[in-house]
Structure 1
């Protein structure tokens, strides 16, 4: 497990709980976090290096920020056994696949790109829990070169953790998540940033309540990780910002015209769409 944070640690715990692994070796930048992971029973031992762990692994999971994929793959390329399956949990896929094509060209048959649609605002091994993926979606974006057996093993790994596995192209993945994940995070960060730097920020925050808390919950997410995600999916995210800006301009026009009827129609449609989305999630 390369990166034993919330996602990597939770995956390790889920697989251990299911009895699906013999031994889990943890590799990462923070010795303190790895010691925590070992103490919590998330990993069996700490790998002295990525090279050391790669020699012994049947499956390697790259659970690092997307900007860290390139150096990780560069190092892995020197030490991978031919039969080892490599997968990732990155929130963007086209950039990760580009890295794999650059650094793992001889191993593309057994590199399976993936993205679990699960998370929380907390990070690190201490935040990990085994049920994180129960009832959640995992997207796999197979490559033309992928071996069927390797794709099946990664799909089975996630299903063992309680997840539903879906497949799609990397481009479609990045476009979808720019709209429903990356843009909402950007907006949440932007609102808190705007309020925080006003002269009367302290007063504004003192009156903020449930609505502000709900809207800004995801602004508590890891800044480094979200910096990397936004930059990695820059083009799709910029398109979503432009679309959202058009919607704000439309709403501004309604306010300027005191067009209450149109405002209510927008709010009503949004409320209905959200209710249908929630009902669909409960039924699935």
Structure 2
């Protein structure tokens, strides 16, 4: 059991982490760090946390060994949180995060500490939805979903075990992966689809001069573009933090899209049929494998 569990940021990811820990009795006390008093009050009333702070500085002096901090703020805001956590890491507090891009967090840690501290375990839960905010907190959000941890050579075994066991207690499957591989894989499988969905909806909403464009959209359009309802600030940070992997995936996608456009223009039915058949086969195989990641990662 964690002594004090401090969650910085009580959106969907942080709120679900804290609420899940409370439901399962995984921490003696859950403390949320939020920016607004209204959010703090909501979180307490909803059972997401036991108490709240409006500034991380209010809780720093209380923390020591046996405590854990989970950072669940937008990716580009992690560095400022790490700055405030310097005293905690020096006292042996285990710190982990849920940011969708691990390379940028590792770089932030090196800027703040000179190197990645032994008790800082970088992680990423592959779960979520288009909903956001503390009211979306779901204690079962991570059940049967994967969590990727990206330890480095200096990461302590005890910190890894602590973080791993907590995620497993929340019902998640924990796997380890190198930082660079994580960012490449998620750039292609998650960040690219979100970029496409946002771009498609924006194109139809603002570039096509037709007031009925959404009125007659069918269920396929709704399903395909659902993720464009995700938190814009969060995805703004993700695209900037993982720009190399995302742009590489976008370039590959745009090349394939251009070939598809050419096939349609030239009435190349063989190319169209082959492309659609390969895509169907790949998608059906993915479905048959029963991926545990039925939600959208943040």
Residue 62 of structure 1 is matched in structure 2 by 71
- What does 1:82-101 correspond to in 2, within 5 Å? 82-101=91-110
Paired residue secondary structure (2:250) = helix
Partner of 1:24: 30
Q: Which residue matches 1:215?
A: 224
Q: Is the 8 A contact 2:146 2:292 kept in 1?
A: no
Matched, 1:150 2:156: no
Which residue number in structure 1 is paired with residue 17 of structure 2? 11
Alignment gaps of 5+ in structure 2: 1-6, 294-298
1:23 partner SS: strand
Distance 1:238 1:107 in 2: 27
Q: 1:153 to 1:201 in 2, by over 3 A?
A: farther
Deviations along 1:103-145, one digit per CA (max 9) or x if unpaired, are 1347710000000000111111100111100100000000211
- 1:132 aligned partner: 141
Write the deviation string for residues 146-180 of structure 1: whole angstroms up to 9, x where unpaired: 10010011011100000000101110000001100
Distance 1:107 1:250, change over 3 A: closer
Question: 1:219, CA displacement in angstroms?
Answer: 0.4
Is the CA contact (8 Å cut-off) linking 1:55 and 1:80 kept in structure 2? Answer: no
Choose which of 123, 136, 139 in structure 1 pairs with 2:132.
123
Using the TM superposition, give the Cα deviation of residue 51 of structure 1 relative to its aligned residue in structure 2, in angstroms. Answer: 2.1
| Structure 1 residue 265, shift from structure 2 partner | 1.3
Contact 1:116/1:133 (8 A) holds in 2: yes
Moved over 3 A (4+): 78-81, 104-107
Structure 1: how far apart are the matches of 2:62 and 2:101? 28
My pick for the range that moved more, 106-115 or 234-243, is 106-115
> Are positions 1:50 and 2:56 aligned together?
yes
Mapping for residues 182-201 of structure 1, pairs under 5 Å: 182-198=191-207, 200-201=209-210
**TM-score with structure 2 setting the length:** 0.91
Unaligned runs of 5+ in 1: none
- For residue 199 of structure 1, report the CA deviation from its aligned partner: 5.1
Alignment partner of 1:71 is 2:80: yes
RMSD over aligned CA atoms reads 1.6
| TM-score, structure 1 as length reference | 0.96
Name the counterpart of 2:43.
37
2:180 to 171, 176, 181: 171
Q: Which structure: greater helix fraction?
A: 1
**CA–CA separation in structure 2 for the residues paired with 1:283 and 1:24:** 28
Q: Is the 8 A contact 1:34 1:125 kept in 2?
A: no
Distance in 2 (CA, whole Å) between partners of 1:97 and 1:22 is: 29
